[in-house]
């Protein structure tokens, strides 16, 4: 199981685990809504897969299952738009 990523992979903006506008693909690449809105056909620029809203995690659940501290940043996503 992959951990929730703490940032948008494209712009490196912090994304909250409670933010219901964050999008992921089936590989859990993580995108803020602003970046995802610019992707061709609304698809993940890494794998071409569908983007869907990432499930949220409440603060109480974060105590026992904290989000990842590992940031994934792909500045090349800009060329995939």
What are the phi and psi torsion angles at 33 (to 5°)? -60, -35
The sign of the torsion formed by the CA atoms of 62, 24, 36, 77 equals positive
CA–CA distance, 59 with 79 (Å, rounded to integer): 35
- The pLDDT of residue 33 is above 60: yes
- Whole-model pTM: value is 0.86
Task: Return all residues near 37 (Cβ < 8 A) that are at least 6 apart.
Answer: none
81 pLDDT band (50/70/90 cuts)?
Answer: low
pLDDT averaged over the chain? 90
């Amino acid at each position: 199981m992959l951990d929730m990523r703490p940032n948008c992979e494209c712009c490196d903006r912090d994304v909250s685990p409670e933010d219901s506008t964050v999008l992921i693909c089936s590989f859990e690449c993580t995108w803020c809504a602003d970046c995802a809105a610019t992707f061709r056909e609304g698809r993940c620029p890494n794998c071409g897969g569908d983007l869907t809203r990432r499930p949220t995690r409440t603060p109480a659940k974060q105590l026992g299952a904290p989000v990842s501290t590992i940031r994934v940043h792909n500045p090349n996503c800009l060329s995939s738009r």
